[in-house]
Structure 1
Amino acid sequence: MASASQDKIPANSPELTPIASSETLGWQSLLAEEYRQPPGGSDIPESWDGHLIALCLAPRPHRIHQVVGDRRYTGLYGKGDISITPANIPAFYQAEGDDHYFNVQIPAQFLQTVAQSAAELDSERLDLTTEFRVRDPQLEQILLLLRAELHKGDGWVGQLYVESLANVLAVNLLREYSTAKPRVALYEGGLGDCKILQISDYIQAHLDQSIKLADLAEVAGMSPFHFSRLFKQSMGISPHQYLLQQRVEQAKQLLKTSKLAIADVALQCGFSSQSHFSKHFRSATGMTPGAYRKR
């Protein structure tokens, strides 16, 4: 459904500009982009060193021609259909109708790291299978959540959530579309009280900074994938939700006990801007920061 390298588009196809791209949002685990494309084609003659997952968003089915390595496919794609192009394989794609799709590019190194830490899989033998027009509700839901986060453009606020989704996406790909099926270890019992307190202390000490899932997992001494699962099991909410909750609680205190401007409160609590702060604060409390301060 898309090229994994826009500078490889042939001369007879116009260069595409994404509707939205995570390139400016600081996402490190993957690159997410959304495109609308008129009929035409693109290719990846030298291939790309990451894995490409494309979700069709077009409301009306249209015919697509695809070549990935030595595999070919011609048929209809409709909303919800997914294609997977493994890393380091030349590919070509051509749509006969107007196309609308969401691309996620996962660096091969990131998938290897998840394979080693969460899936007990030898990353040296890791490869994904080429897939055309897959229907996978779980994979589609993860991609739609990433798309929603892309359009929010929340910067620091959304990074932890995106990293969690990236890990879930990677494990899903390893479990369902890897040439070597991994054994994903299951841990029971959640995090111990000591680790919960360590995580809480770390978050409080770094609220004004960008807190990554890998940072919290390192404090807990485990992989990001396992940390996310055990944290939610212990706390009842995801690390991203907990972090956002703590940012809002800190903001409440500053609004009531300081004379800081609302923009400064936003920055001290780790929000990327006053508008992002106001949006999340209102979602959590039902009122704007200004209204809360005047109560």
Structure 2
Amino acid sequence: MIEQAAEADEIDPQRFNLVTCFDRQDLQLHQIAMLLHAELQLGGIMGQLYIESLTQMLVIHLIRHYSTFTKTITSKNKSLTNLQLQQAIEYIHAHLDQDLSLEQIAQVINISPTYFASLFKRATGTSPHQYVIQQRVERAKLMLSKTDIAIADIALQVGFSSQSHLTQQFKRLTGITPKQVRNTIKI
């Protein structure tokens, strides 16, 4: 994973080594590790894409702060082409109900998952994981207003692991619950 992240940033993985730094506390590293640990203990309730995003954050943090490589990793002027972005977005929309992974999405446009994640964020302003969550909430909102399917079934149909997971993300993004949307429409 470290090699993939380095290569995605056009860094030769042979040009640096990871170093141990037991003499300092790193709150950011601790936070990333705790989020990853919690997600793995919950059985990946947020999905493969979330785990991969956290793993990518961990790897980039390690390269930036715990390696012999001295150059700061910065964004390049490279970006996804409009066609690549459209293909990735179309794939996401076609597979929202599934447990998507960075590898699956990146494979559609034939680039590495790590490189895809950074280019996607640069192109859209949001990480692939957050984009997927936003699209799932939007699809749920549409289904809530156009159908009378049970909220628990909508949650599964749009790719959430449960009704409570849908409700949590829905409220975070919209400020209201799916039930409130459903009740407002029926009035």
Equivalent-residue separation in structure 2 for 1:284 and 1:176 (angstroms): 32
Q: SS where residue 142 of structure 1 aligns?
A: helix
Equivalent-residue separation in structure 2 for 1:204 and 1:160 (angstroms): 14
Give me the TM-score of the superposition, normalised by structure 1. 0.53
Q: How does 1:250-265 map to 2 (within 5 A)?
A: 250-265=139-154
Q: How does 1:119-158 map to 2 (within 5 A)?
A: 120-122=11-13, 128-143=18-33, 145-146=35-36, 150=39, 153=42, 155=44, 157-158=46-47
Aligned partners of 2:32 and 2:58 also within 8 Å: yes
Q: Which is higher, the Rg of structure 1 or of structure 2?
A: 1
Residues 156, 219 of structure 1: alpha-carbon distance in 2 compared, 3 angstrom cutoff:
farther
Unaligned runs of 5+ in 1: 1-109
Aligned partners of 1:156 and 1:211 also within 8 Å: no
The answer to which structure has the higher helix fraction is 2
Aligned-pair CA distance for 1:259: 2.3
**2:137 maps to what in 1?**
248
**1:204 maps to what in 2?**
93
Higher relative contact order (CA closer than 8 Å, sequence separation 6+): 2
Equivalent-residue separation in structure 1 for 2:156 and 2:66 (angstroms): 41
Q: Is 1:228 matched up with 2:122?
A: no
Bigger drift between 238-247 and 166-175 goes to: 166-175
Q: SS where residue 188 of structure 1 aligns?
A: coil
Q: How does 1:271-282 map to 2 (within 5 A)?
A: 271-282=160-171
The alignment-based identity, stated in percent, is 42
Equivalent-residue separation in structure 1 for 2:95 and 2:118 (angstroms): 22
Equivalent-residue separation in structure 2 for 1:114 and 1:189 (angstroms): 15
Q: Is 1:174 matched up with 2:70?
A: no
Aligned partners of 1:155 and 1:272 also within 8 Å: no
What is the total number of aligned residue pairs between the two structures? 184
Equivalent-residue separation in structure 2 for 1:134 and 1:271 (angstroms): 39
Aligned-pair CA distance for 1:285: 1.8
Equivalent-residue separation in structure 2 for 1:158 and 1:210 (angstroms): 6
Aligned partners of 1:198 and 1:219 also within 8 Å: yes
- C-alpha RMSD of matched pairs (Å): 3.0
Aligned-pair CA distance for 1:130: 2.9
